[in-house]
């Protein structure tokens, strides 16, 4: 469906995309994650024909996005990260405006819009002015708009950014509907747990390169056993400051890579499996360290993402 080969984009001297390779099959929902400035938006804009690549190729359904930008525009629907709407324009007119840009007849646009507005749960807003809609509604309207010409590939750039939990939930419902309709979607986000629930595959991007890419489950499986342990120590028999003592003891233990302290928790980066984790807890008892809670983080994309990208980023 979408194939990106050796895609490189340079802004002046700055290398935003560095020989990026990516393949998405039909019907897949591909999640694109990465810290700010990783190059997600740049990739998406090239796929939509908005930006010229420095080198490399992008094909959608066999059509070259760089050589045939006009054909690609009929194949791709794009929801940008930031977008605006017009004043004094009603929801239905908004749809008609964009439909007519694809040369569609008014009747056809109206019929399709009915269905799309229903899909994004805006049927009751047909006659509202677009600039009066809430942020979440605008975002959903933009998704409906991007689908007006029935594109093969839908490109969503952070459709959840700036939305409150309720609006996020609604957006997720829309995306789930699209998934069940068999749409191929390329979606970028910072909100990783939502992506892992929604996506069939993900790619983690950093500095213009894909660090990891594949099926969600495969990626999680491959990195099993790396999750940190959270622990709370209430008392230890020692003259030393508590944290210092605990850190010294922990660092002597196998599989412990790093120990850090938050307000009231100890975070242990641990490479062992669950049995080793249990052994570690026993050792702590042996040292008369009294632990009130002790649990291992469940592996998810979020922690994986933080691990891969060095943990500097707050999602």
Partner 1 sequence: MRKRLHMNPIWKKELVVGSRSMKMSWAIMGINAFLTIIVLIVLSITNMSAATSGYRYATLIWLFPILGCIECGLISLIVPVITSGSISGERERQTLDVMLTTPVTTFSIAVGKLGSAMSVVMMYMIASIPVMAIAFVLGGMSWWALLGLFGMLLYLGIYVGSVGVFCSSVVKKSVVSTILTIAIGIGIIIVTTVILYVVIATQSAMCDAKGVAYAGPGAAAFIMMLNPYSPIVDFMMRVMMGTGIDRLMEEMGTKSSIILAISRWWIPCSIVINMIISFIFLKLAARNISVTRNRK
Ligand X SMILES: Nc1ncnc2c1ncn2[C@@H]1O[C@H](COP(=O)(O)OP(=O)(O)OP(=O)(O)O)[C@@H](O)[C@H]1O
Long-range contact pairs involving 135-139 (C-beta distance under 8 Å, separation at least 24): 135/162, 135/163, 135/167, 136/163, 136/164, 136/166, 136/167, 136/168, 136/170, 136/171, 138/85, 139/79, 139/163, 139/167, 139/171
Can residue 273 be called a binding residue for partner 1 (CB under 8 A)? Answer: no
Query: Based on the number of CB atoms within 10 Å of its own CB, is 243 exposed (0-12), middle (13-18) or buried (19 or more)?
Result: middle
**Token pair listed for 61:** 């359904």
Query: Which residue number, 28 or 158, has a Cβ lying nearer to ligand X?
Result: 158
Which residue in the shown chain puts its C-beta closest to Mg ion?
41
- Cβ contacts of 18 within 8 Å, gap of 6 or more: 8, 207, 208, 209
Give yes or no for a contact between 95 and 145, defined as CB atoms under 8 angstroms apart.
yes
Yes or no: say if 63 and 71 are a contact pair by the CB < 8 Å rule: yes
Binding range to ligand X, per CB under 6 A, among 37-45, 145-153, 179-187, 295-303 = 37-45
Beta strand 29-33 pairing with 201-206: parallel
Task: Annotate each residue in 136-155 with x if it binds partner 1 (CB under 8 A) or - if it does not, as one string.
Answer: ------x--x---x------
Q: Which is nearer to Mg ion, 87 or 312 (CB)?
A: 312
Which positions from 60 through 99 interact with ligand X, judged by CB under 6 A?
Answer: 81
The CA–CA distances, whole Å, from 24 to 58, 147, 176, 192 equal: 11, 19, 18, 19
Residue 159 binds which entry of partner 1, ligand X, Mg ion, none, CB below 5-8 Å type-dependent? none
Out of 27, 37, 162, 241, the residue judged to bind ligand X by CB under 6 A? 37
Among 54, 55, 84, 260, the residue binding partner 1 under the rule CB under 8 A is 84
Residue corresponding to tokens 């405006």:
97
Residues that contact partner 1, how many (by CB under 8 A) = 31
Among the listed residues 13, 14, 88, 182, the single contact to ligand X using CB under 6 A: 14
Choose one: 15-23, 78-86, 119-127, 279-287; the region binding partner 1 (CB under 8 A): 78-86
Phi/psi of residue 162, each to 5°?
Answer: 80, 10
When binding is defined by CB under 5 A, the residue of 1, 30, 38, 41 that contacts Mg ion is 41
Beta strands in 216-310 (DSSP E): 229-236, 256-261, 266-270, 289-296
Q: Which does 37 bind (CB under 5 to 8 A by kind): Mg ion, ligand X, partner 1, none?
A: ligand X
Measured from the CB atom, is 11 or 235 closer to partner 1? 11
Q: Which residues bind ligand X (CB under 6 A)?
A: 11, 14, 16, 34, 36-42, 81
Residues contributing to the site for Mg ion (CB under 5 A): 40-41, 81
Contacts with partner 1 by CB under 8 A lie at 45, 48-51, 70, 73-74, 76-78, 80, 82-89, 93, 97-98, 100-103, 105, 142, 145, 149
């Amino acid at each position: 469906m979408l194939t990106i080969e050796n895609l490189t984009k340079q802004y002046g001297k700055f290398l935003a995309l560095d020989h990026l390779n990516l393949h998405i099959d039909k019907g897949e929902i591909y999640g694109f994650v990465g810290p700010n400035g990783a190059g997600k938006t740049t990739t998406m804009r090239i796929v939509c024909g908005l930006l010229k690549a420095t080198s490399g190729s992008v094909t959608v359904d066999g059509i070259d996005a760089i050589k045939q930008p006009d054909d690609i525009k009929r194949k791709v629907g794009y929801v940008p990260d930031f977008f605006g709407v017009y004043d004094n324009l009603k929801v239905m007119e908004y749809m008609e405006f964009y439909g007519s840009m694809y040369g569609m007849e008014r009747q056809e646009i109206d019929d399709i819009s009915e269905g799309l507005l229903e899909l994004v749960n805006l049927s009751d807003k047909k006659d509202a002015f677009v600039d009066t809609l809430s942020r979440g509604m605008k975002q959903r309207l933009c998704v409906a708009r991007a689908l007006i010409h029935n594109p093969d590939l839908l490109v969503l750039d952070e459709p959840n950014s700036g939305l409150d939990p309720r609006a996020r939930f609604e957006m997720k419902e829309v995306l789930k509907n699209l998934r069940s309709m068999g749409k191929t979607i390329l979606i970028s986000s910072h909100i990783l747990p939502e992506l892992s629930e929604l996506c069939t595959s993900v790619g983690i991007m950093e500095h213009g390169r894909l660090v990891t890419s594949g099926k969600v489950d495969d990626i999680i499986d491959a990195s099993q056993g790396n999750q940190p342990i959270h622990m709370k120590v209430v008392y230890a028999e020692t003259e030393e400051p508590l944290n210092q003592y605990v850190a010294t003891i922990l660092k002597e233990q196998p599989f412990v890579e790093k120990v850090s302290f938050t307000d009231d928790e100890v975070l242990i980066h641990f490479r062992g499996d669950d049995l080793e984790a249990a052994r570690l807890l026993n050792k702590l008892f042996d040292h008369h360290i009294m632990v009130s809670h002790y649990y291992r983080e469940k592996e998810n994309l979020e922690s994986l993402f933080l691990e891969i990208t060095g943990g500097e980023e707050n999602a």
